[in-house]
Structure 1
Amino acid sequence: MLNSISDNELMLKVKEGDLDKLGLLFERYNKRLYHFFYRLTDRSDLSEDLVQGVFERILKYRNTYTNDGSFSTWIFQIARNLQADHYRKNQYSGTPEEFINWEQLEDDTFAYKEKYRRKNELKLLQQAINKLDDIKKETLILSRFEGFKYKEIANIMECSESAVKVRIFRALQEIEVHIKEFNRNDYD
């Protein structure tokens, strides 16, 4: 029965003081948020802390929840703001130098040769993604890895839907250019 309750309904119950429902929202979103943060930071410990921070903010600011739009858009907007606040507070500049560990997402059933080829492709992809500016990187991750629609991303990032489309288009173009550069440098 609890699985049939929508996220928005659960959050309204949290807002009304039924704090046990926050645990259900945590169960539904903690892995997804963790993967979002991990793709941005490449740090497991930091990702776990940021997930906890999202739910602390939900608890602290539950009275401001308005039930406008989807809950997932609202929670990822909180996540994005928390991550930005964390980097601003800790005076990080740009993106981390380490690469996103995409190979953890790989299926272990590939043959060794295929796995090796794919590993190299993923390394190039992660290098190219890390060369993107923060806004394009976040937009691309929300779209391609978190599965948000452009309209939802626009709400999360507080911009227009057309701006989201442009950012994704430009990010994909930049990735293609970077990968070509990497390949060219390998053969020089």
Structure 2
Amino acid sequence: MLKVKAGQLDQLGLLFERYNRPLYGFFYRLTSDQEVSEDLVQNVFVRIIKYRHTYKGDGKFSTWMYHMARNLFADHYRKEKRRGYKEDLDVADRYHSNDDHAEKLKIASEELGLLQVALDRLPEDKKEILVLSKYQGMKYKDIADLLEITESAVKVRIFRALKELKSCYEQLEFEVVKP
């Protein structure tokens, strides 16, 4: 990133190769929309070029990048104000296949679907901290730096978010069982 900051914009390709998939996963977990996630990833890298002069190099690049990604998502969320769960057509096709494992795939996929719906029902701050820690694999210290809070506050927020996620998931299971 320091080379990009110095004007070697060809080095941005290396950063893109390294970080586009984790960023896509981050956005996809927040939006459940493939196209929107891809667009947001592209926009992060546009912002990296635009704001490269603000990178100081004293912290981790990924923390700076995710800070930018969070701001971009907040801008997007304010503009769109829409969220929802979309069923993947490939997953639906597998439900109806004659494969021996079709039933197991169906159950696992339904559980993941319920988990995603439960995650979508969480307030944005709780959803975001779970995506960063559980799906992106960020360390508590890096999350603390990103959110500008203490590491112990991160642990408390994750604990509370997991507790609420479990409650939402159990409520969804109850709604599915009860017609």
Give the shorter-chain TM-score range.
0.7 to 0.9
Mark the CA change 1:186 to 1:37 in structure 2 (over 3 Å): closer, same or farther.
closer
Asked if 1:148 is matched to 2:138, the reply is: yes
Q: Which runs of 5+ in 1 are unaligned?
A: 1-10
- Tell me how far apart the structure 2 counterparts of residues 158 and 167 of structure 1 sit (CA, whole Å): 13
Structure 1 partner of 2:114:
124
Name the amino acid aligned to 2:15: L
Name the amino acid aligned to 2:29: R
Mark the CA change 1:100 to 1:137 in structure 2 (over 3 Å): closer, same or farther.
farther
Name the amino acid aligned to 2:148: E
Structure 2 partner of 1:17:
7
Structure 2 partner of 1:96:
83
Shift of 1:99: 5.1
Q: Is the 8 A contact 1:34 1:47 kept in 2?
A: yes
Mark the CA change 1:82 to 1:100 in structure 2 (over 3 Å): closer, same or farther.
farther
Q: Which runs of 5+ in 2 are unaligned?
A: 92-98
Q: Is the 8 A contact 1:99 1:127 kept in 2?
A: no
Q: CA RMSD in A?
A: 2.1
With 51-60 and 110-119 compared, the bigger mean Cα shift is at 110-119
Cα offsets for 1:29-59 (capped at 9, x unmatched)? 1111111111111112211111111111111
Alignment: residue pair count: 170
Identity of counterpart residues, as a percentage? 52
Mark the CA change 1:111 to 1:63 in structure 2 (over 3 Å): closer, same or farther.
same
Per the normalisation by structure 1, the TM-score is: 0.82
Cα offsets for 1:73-117 (capped at 9, x unmatched)? 1111111111111222x151xx6122586x97xxxx992222122
Name the amino acid aligned to 1:71: F
Q: Is the 8 A contact 2:32 2:84 kept in 1?
A: no
Structure 1 partner of 2:74:
84
Give runs of aligned pairs for residues 8-87 of structure 1, distance below 5 A: 11-87=1-77
Structure 2 partner of 1:112:
102
Structure 2 partner of 1:7:
none
Cα offsets for 1:95-141 (capped at 9, x unmatched)? 6122586x97xxxx992222122122112211211111000000000
Per the normalisation by structure 2, the TM-score is: 0.86
Mark the CA change 1:110 to 1:169 in structure 2 (over 3 Å): closer, same or farther.
farther
